[in-house]
Amino acid sequence: MTVKKLRKSLVVFSLVLSVFAILSITPMQAAETPEKEVENVIHNYFKAVKQGNAKEMARLSDDKRFPNEEIQVKNYKEILNDDELHHAKIVSLKEISANEFVANIETTTKNAGKVVANYKIINREGQWVLLVGNDIDFNSSNFEYE
């Protein structure tokens, strides 16, 4: 074996060892649990509300009040102009099935004040979305209006 081939083999061997060393030290990221994914969707939805990002709100939700996303975004922009979210937090989160959760969420807005409401979060075609537009159950003991 020539010196050139030997050096080349040593370089390749060193690279392979380096990759294995890095992989063995780096902790493998476990897949997020459905509950964590749902929490992230809720967090990102209300973050979009706070930032006035109607398009992101529409992407993270399923709102049956509107026939398509374009009209949904237009209406969300109007809603965002009329009110302001001050606070949102998950009070509780319950798994109903592998594809459905119910979250009890407390929000405080400029116009409505404090509202605690139940929201369904469903897995639609592999993506978790917040069902909005039919979220407030006035007969529920979890509903408060100040």
Q: What is the mean pLDDT of each successive set of 10 residues along the chain, which is 146 residues long?
A: 59 48 51 93 96 96 92 94 93 96 95 93 95 61 40
Q: With b meaning 16 or more CB within 10 Å and e meaning fewer, what string describes 104-135?
A: bbbbbbeeeeebbbbbbbbbeeeebbbbbeeb
Residue 4 domain flag: no
Residue 99 domain flag: yes
The pTM (predicted TM-score) of the whole model is: 0.71
pLDDT of residue 4: 65
Residue 89 domain flag: yes
Cα(41)–Cα(46) distance, integer angstroms:
9
What is the C-alpha radius of gyration for the chain, rounded to an integer number of angstroms?
A: 24
Phi, psi of 23 (to 5 degrees): -65, -35
The total domain count for the chain is 1
Structure tokens at 72: 């949904």
Amino acid identity, position 114: K
pLDDT of residue 1: 60
- How many CB atoms within 10 Å of residue 61? 21
Range of the domain at 107: 32-145
Residue 19 domain flag: no
Residue 25 domain flag: no
- Would you say 83 and 109 are in contact if contact means Cβ atoms under 8 Å apart? yes
pLDDT of residue 97: 95
pLDDT of residue 133: 81
pLDDT of residue 30: 58
Residue 6 domain flag: no
Q: What is the CATH number of the domain that holds 108?
A: 3.10.450.50
Residue 8 domain flag: no
Residue 75 domain flag: yes
Cα(80)–Cα(67) distance, integer angstroms:
19
